[in-house]
Amino acid sequence: MKTFNEKLANWIHATPAKEAGINNIQIPGQPELLVWQTRYKAPTRYEQDFVEYLIHAFSTGITELDALVESLNLQGFRCESGELWTLENFSHEMQRLGY
């Protein structure tokens, strides 16, 4: 079973076609149902770890962004670049990972 939708990679920054039937994500009448419809690539180890640290932070009752950033730093999880988390780079990372 595929873990991401390979057809979505072609749609990143794509310009929609004006003609019907061109550049479809799926062939009309023949959709291939995937478990992960919105992923264009498999998640990296960093992304998987990020989720685990976020789950841990949320499970402690954190609901505010500044407390979440502080929790990631206290847990020892760093940005992909190795820097400590800030409100700014956390927001940027969430936008980047939101595909």
User: Structure pTM?
Assistant: 0.64
pLDDT per residue as tens, the chain (99 positions): 677 777 666 666 666 655 555 555 665 666 666 666 667 777 899 999 999 999 999 999 999 999 999 999 999 999 999 999 999 999 999 998 875
* The pLDDT of residue 19: 56
Q: Write the CA distances from 80 to 47, 51, 52, integer angstroms.
A: 9, 13, 15
Find the largest Cα–Cα distance for the chain: 53
Same domain? 38 vs 10: yes
Residues spanned by the domain of 62: 45-97
Whether 38 and 52 map to the same domain: the answer is: no
Q: What is the pLDDT of residue 41?
A: 78
Same domain, 30 and 2: yes
The torsion of the CA quartet 12, 18, 21, 27, rounded to 10 degrees, works out to 20
pLDDT for position 21:
58
